[in-house]
Amino acid sequence: MSNKTKYHLFVDSQITLVPYYPYYATTLRWYQDETLCKQVDDRKDPYDLDRLKRMYRYLNHHGDLFYIKYNNRLCGDVCLQNNGEINIVIAKPYQNRHIGRRVIHSLIQLAKVQNRREIHARIYPFNTQSIRMFESVGFIKTADEWYVYRIS
């Protein structure tokens, strides 16, 4: 279902979604934060370069993968997978600025263009920050760890 977007998506005056390209010098630092790894993967050990490359390769082949650029600085990544699942990571220094919320709104619009009926996210119960963010844009809990946004 992915259209393999190769263009930038402009979220607002501060945020742009940039199509994925290998840029590990910056992105590896995000995934070496143990707290962030716990939020995203429910694991304590940080990524190494090989694991990071495998993750990006998988997401890039199974959806629309973007870097999140905030005020001209890369600060995270987001993917709308072919199965409708959203994966988003915001580097610690950029969290709590409503970046994720604004990005998710744009992915909802992308999902509409792709004629999707719903999108979903897996969020661990201890990740209350992500739960609040997804619920604030209209996702509802449908099962343990799963949240859905139904597109009208």
Domains of the chain: 9-116 (3.40.630.30)
pTM for the model stands at: 0.93
For residue 113 the two structure tokens come to: 């263009």
pLDDT digits (tens, 9 = 90+) for 74-85: 999 999 999 999
User: What does the pLDDT read at residue 7?
Assistant: 82
Q: How confident is the model at residue 152 (pLDDT cuts 50, 70, 90)?
A: confident
Q: Starting at the edge strand that comes first in sequence, how are the strands of the sheet with 63-70 ordered?
A: 9-10, 15-19, 63-70, 73-81, 86-90
pLDDT digits (tens, 9 = 90+) for 86-135: 999 999 999 999 999 999 999 999 999 999 999 999 999 999 999 999 99
User: Distance between CA 27 and CA 18 in Å, rounded?
Assistant: 13
